């Protein structure tokens, strides 16, 4: 069976990071540090999520002089639902079929 969309380990790591504080606007470098994903992995995932309206994006003006405005990200309601669903599915899968089958004690 093909893997459902947005279920790669990298995407799941990003979902975890975005779900810790779903209301806070996050930015690329901070997400990259938290997830350990390189920019070349992180940005394409963000692009894909944003293109499917799972991710809100915004430009946040800089509070320090000389720093350019930042592109910030937050999951949309759809994105939140999908992220939770994918993470629970992954957790269930990790426990594995052996855990799903609990033999009855005699």
Partner 1 sequence: MRRVARTVLVAAVRGRRDRGGPWGEAALAEFDQTTGRWEALRWAAGGLRAVWHERRARIKTLPRGVRLQRALVGAALLSVPAAVVVNQFLLTPRYVPSGSMEPTVQVQDRILVDRVSFRLTGVRYGDIVEFTTPRVPGYPVLKRVIGLPGDTIECRGGQVYRDGTALNEPYLDTPAATENCGAAVTVPAGELFVLGDHRVVSQDSRQWGTIPVDAVDGRLLTKFWPLP
Q: Which stretch binds partner 1 (CB under 8 A): 14-22, 43-51, 82-90, 91-99?
A: 43-51
Nearest distance, CB of residue 6 and partner 1, angstroms: 16
Toward partner 1, which CB reaches closer, 33 or 93?
A: 33
**13 near partner 1, rule: CB under 8 A:** no
What SS3 state is found at 66? coil
User: Does residue 3 sit in helix, strand or coil?
Assistant: coil
Instruction: CB nearer to partner 1: give 71 or 74.
Output: 71
Residue nearer to partner 1 on the CB measure, 4 or 29:
29
Helices 9-20 and 77-100: crossing angle in degrees, nearest 10, is 120
Strands 70-75 and 26-27: antiparallel
Contacting residue, 12, 17, 18, 42, with partner 1 by CB under 8 A: 42
Report the DSSP beta bridge partners of residue 55: 75
Q: 103 is written with which tokens?
A: 């033999």
Contact status: 17 vs partner 1 (CB under 8 A):
no
Q: Please report the sign of the dihedral spanned by the C-alpha atoms of residue 99, residue 101, residue 102, residue 106.
A: negative
Binding site for partner 1 (CB under 8 A): 27-29, 32, 38-44, 46-47, 51, 57, 67-71
């Amino acid at each position: 069976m093909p893997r459902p969309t947005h279920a790669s380990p990298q995407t799941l790591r990003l979902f975890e990071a975005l779900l810790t504080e779903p209301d806070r606007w996050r930015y690329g470098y901070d997400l990259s540090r938290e997830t350990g994903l390189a920019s070349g992995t992180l940005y394409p995932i963000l692009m894909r999520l944003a293109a499917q309206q799972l991710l809100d994006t915004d430009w946040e003006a800089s509070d320090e002089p000389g720093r350019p405005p930042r592109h910030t990200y937050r999951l949309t309601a759809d994105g939140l639902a999908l992220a939770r669903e994918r993470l629970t599915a992954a957790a269930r899968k990790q426990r594995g079929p052996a855990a799903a089958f609990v033999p009855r004690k005699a």
